[in-house]
Amino acid sequence: MLPSLPDHLKPWVMLALIVGMVGTLVTGRFGSDIVLMGVLAACVLLGLVDPQAAVAGFSNQGLITVALLYVVAAGMKETGATNMLVSRLLGRPKSLLETQARLTIPVAGVSAFVNNTPIVAMFLPVLTGVARRGGFPASKLFMPLSFASILGGVCTLIGTSTNIVIADLLNASDLTHNGQPVRFGMFTLTAVGLPIAIAGLAYMLILGRKLLPGRTADQPDEPAEQREYMIALRVSDDSPLAGKTVEQANLRNLKGLFLARIDRKNASILAVGPEEVLFPGDILNFVGNLDSVVDLQRMRGLVPITDEQAATQDRPKLRLVEAVVAASSPLVGSSIRDCGIRTRYGAVVVAVHRRGHRLRGKIGQIVLRAGDTLLLEAEPGFVRKHRDSHDFYLVTERADSAAPRHDRAWAAIGILALLVVAISSGVPPIVAAMVAAGLMIIARCCTGPQARANVDWQVLVTIGAAFGVGAAIENTGIATILAQQIVDLTTPFGPWAILTTIYCITFVFAAVMSHNAAAVIMFPLAMDIAEQANLNPLLVVVILAIAASCEFSTPIGYQTNLMVMGPGGYRWLDYTKFGGPLTLLAAVICIVLAPIVYGMH
């Protein structure tokens, strides 16, 4: 039997654990999932919460819904649907202001219905090229990208995992207001979240050019000499690039990659100009580093030229593999076209690297030498089958290298639309998300392994542990004690002071830990405050949801802020300078507008 503290000590021990948890998270030495699991373990060992309640969060409907929505996002990503939607809206802007507008507005719109992490991840490799073509610093774009995704997320129930978690907590609490059950629907947040998003976007477009730093990212970790691959891809007959110029197809000024030559029937175009029009059947010869080559082969309408029919058959099942040709390999001395890689290994050569040499001519005519590195499209079991082969020195698979299922893009968009309609019609989010996730796999928008790989387990562990810590906070009574103190201190200043206090405490928690964890841990405290101050519980929940997400002043306040910090070349104070006023703006709009929309009492 586990030891238990005296009841009168439990609230203060819990308070000490909370302070220690926040202090540890501030140092940044440990991940939020590790810290919260450690605090949860301490709560169980000290008898602050029983083991069953401690782990109940891991079976919580909100947490499971979040996990299922990752699968929906995976389907959008693996089909290229998200990229297709946003790239059409992004277009080809001519100025910094137009670029920021075409970037932030679509991102905010898509983020209202799709998890914002994959959206930001999708833009990271292309924004540097966009900035280079426009002639302005990349730092003017990366932070607005992250902030726009956050602003879009506070507009709907499924815009961010925080909203899903809070909605489930509210529904499970069975609260009523004026005799009616309090519920968090698909567009409950929209009346306040949309004005915040509009004001935030306007702020970024008006002041972004002045307040954002004008620097490019330092890249000290890049090797002085990167492996340079030669890759040849054919413009397919149904390619959306056909009929576009090289400039319109976004094939100019690619990061780490350049278009060296176009082979067309019996002619070769060596000096490829930006106005050169692409035609079906054109062979585009690129030279560049491996990451850029991988991104390029995922582009819709470009396919490997070697044994094209076989290579393009169900390409999403194939993986990119690097294989270094051994001296004893039968491939040595034969050209790529004649060595029978397809029949011998069931693979297709996508690109070739030869150390110390820039390869020229057609890729099929390259005569292989020992030490050449081949980038192959191969079946998933290729590495396991050939890693001990004498034909290759080294065989490694590129992670997340499957070609997008472009033909399933509209199916993915339709499933997402069905999800939105279902939740808007009153279908429980977990049911709608479960059906949508299943349809994504049934419709072959993503595979089972891809669905599992796209689930962010750290976020789920953090949420599950936060539920246990939240239960301990409620069980020990520290939430009631703190709520009473907050109400006593702020009541003389009116209900807006109470709402402001709730917002500020949530904001501070979100700045040092996961926004999901901040919402879960603050929920019992916020509900106690609402009860003692006779406030509308739905109003308090809205304040809590927006405060947990709208933290822009630190890079650790939101996952996407950390994602853009390196590529944008930002320092900590850059977030404070540009994101601080935006955080204050969101807080003022929320605190002023929410009582008007939902009612104070």
DSSP string for 361-384: S-GGGPBP-TT-EEEEEE-TTHHH
Between CA 19 and CA 525 the distance in angstroms is 15
Please give the C-alpha separations between residue 528 and each of 176, 432, 465, in angstroms, as whole numbers: 14, 31, 21
Stretch 278-292: mean pLDDT: 80
Q: One-letter amino acid identity for 353?
A: H
b (16+ CB within 10 A) / e for 218-233: eeeeeeeeeebbbbbb
Q: How far is CA 415 from CA 113, 421, 432, 437, in A?
A: 12, 10, 10, 9
CA distance 34 to 21: 11
Give the integer Cα–Cα distance in Å for 598 and 601: 9
Averaged pLDDT, 170-183: 80
- DSSP string of 387-405? TT-TTEEEEEEPTT-PPP-
The two tokens of residue 538 are 């739905």
CA distance 353 to 359: 8
Q: If you average pLDDT over every residue of the chain, what do you get?
A: 81
Give yes or no for a contact between 227 and 353, defined as CB atoms under 8 angstroms apart.
Answer: yes
**pLDDT (mean) for 406-433:** 85
**Range with the lowest mean pLDDT among 235-239, 304-308, 482-486?**
304-308
pLDDT of 123 above 60: yes
Q: What pLDDT shows up at residue 196? A: 96
| Mean pLDDT, rounded, for 121-133 | 68
For domain 229-397, which CATH number applies: 3.20.20.80, 3.30.70.1450, 3.30.300.90, 3.40.50.150? 3.30.70.1450
The whole-number pLDDT of residue 316 equals: 58
Contact in structure between 321 and 383 (CB atoms under 8 Å): yes
Q: Which residue has the tokens 């935006």?
A: 582
Distance, in Å, from the CA atom of 207 to the CA atom of 323, rounded to the nearest integer, reads 49
pLDDT above 70 for 310: no
Which pLDDT does position 189 carry in this prediction?
92
Sign of CA dihedral 510, 516, 520, 523: positive
The residue to which tokens 């501070």 are assigned: 508
Distance of CA 112 to the CA centre of its chain: 13
Does the pLDDT at position 586 exceed 90?
Answer: yes
Domain spans, the chain: 229-397
Residue whose C-alpha is closest to residue 249's, from 260, 238, 239, 262: 239
| Candidate from 51-55, 512-516, 567-571 with smallest mean pLDDT | 512-516
Give the pLDDT of residue 547: 93
The residues, any chain, with a CB within 8 Å of residue 466's CB and separated by 6 or more, are 36, 57, 514, 516, 517, 520, 521
The alpha-helical segments, DSSP class H, found in 28-60 are: 32-45, 51-55
Check residues 288 and 264 and name the one with the higher pLDDT: 264
